[in-house]
Amino acid sequence: MLFWVIAAILTLGASLAVLLPLAGGTKGASSAGEHDLEVYRDQLSELDRDVARGLIQPAEAEEARAEIGRRILRLGAAGQSGPAARRSSMATRLVATAAVLAVPLVSWGLYIKLGSPDLPSQPLTERLAKNPADSSVDELVARAEAHLAANPSDGRGWDVLAPVYLRLQRYSDAVSAYRNAIRLDGDSAARQAGLGEAIANAAGGIVSAEAQAAFEAALKQDPANAKASFYLAMGLAQEGRTGEATAAWQKMLAALPPDSPWRGAVEQALADTASKSAAAGAPANGPDAQAVDAAQQMSPQDRQAMIETMVASLDEKLKQNPRDVEGWMRLIRSYAVLGKADQARDALGRAIAAFGADSEEAKKFTAFAATLGLAATE
């Protein structure tokens, strides 16, 4: 509301700037000739000063004076033809009215087309000062980041932020947050295991030597750390040492308390490994492997229904959190594989919209879609 009031005041001010001179009286304007005369007079006095200071010889000065005098004479001969104020004709009145009206019309017309009057300013400090309950996760994270930027040696802060990064899939940020937490607050099994997980995820799920070192450090602190054991076994499996991996997981399963959340993961991993060795190199891996396995044993209708539910839930999730590059690519691929080209294109359009049409991500999406034989509809 305040904005519209300001806009109205500004428009009024601008219109007045046009209207007042048109409405006001005119001072008697001096003719161009008078202006010229003044300049020549000044040139003459300057000449006199120069002579007085000895800058030019009297003879030269005389010549220059004659020249200026000639200019003044020519001015007189040309006559005084100043702009004569004429009666305002119909045409000039029309132009004046159009000019006054043009200001509000052009500005409001253009602004309605270009502006976003309903969108308030959102300076970052204001957004971060909001009640945390109203803030999005992103805003909370940004608040924590601002706090840590000001107090980079707050180990607890890094400790809290690191798992959040991990959940938000900002793996490389998670890596540095865990590292900072370890540097400032010392080793702990949870931090080392988290660091390992972040490194592994940053590398696309591959348990590298660096990640392995972190997990081993975690186990040194707490030999019963489930995450570290699980990922170390995963690392073995990735190296093709399936037997050792299976043994490690089975050992974990035996040791885990019955209500441990890791049970499910370990069981699934065991099943994956088993089916993979059974299928001798079938390309099933990743978190969906088990679900895909299950789907293969279903009737075609059930399978289709299940896949569509999964895709729909992914779609829903992306509507909530549109800044998920991987998610969008998965969604586009899913629709394409399901033969729903229209929906795939729609997803592509939404993905591009989420990041802005000329963003790098948008280019990535377009390229990715092109590999699936889709073109963006814009």
| Cβ proximity to other proteins, 122 vs 299, nearer residue | 122
Q: How many CB atoms lie within 10 A of CB 321?
A: 13
| Cβ proximity to other proteins, 33 vs 185, nearer residue | 33
Q: What is the dihedral of CA 345, 350, 354, 356, to 10 degrees?
A: 60
| Cβ proximity to other proteins, 44 vs 292, nearer residue | 44
How far is residue 130's CA from residue 133's CA, in Å, rounded to a whole number?
8
Considering only CA atoms, give the Rg of the chain. 39
| Cβ proximity to other proteins, 117 vs 264, nearer residue | 117
Closest separation in Å from C-beta 126 to other proteins: 8
Closest separation in Å from C-beta 224 to other proteins: 36
Closest separation in Å from C-beta 35 to other proteins: 4
Distances (CA, A) of 105 to 13, 102, 111, 159, 302: 14, 5, 10, 57, 61
Both tokens of 97, joined, read 């009215």
Closest separation in Å from C-beta 140 to other proteins: 10
Q: For 358, phi and psi rounded to 5 degrees? A: -110, 25
Closest separation in Å from C-beta 74 to other proteins: 9
How far is residue 225's CA from residue 218's CA, in Å, rounded to a whole number?
7
Least Cα distance to 264 among 245, 242, 286, 290 occurs for 290
| Cβ proximity to other proteins, 104 vs 327, nearer residue | 104
| Cβ proximity to other proteins, 67 vs 288, nearer residue | 67
| Cβ proximity to other proteins, 56 vs 306, nearer residue | 56
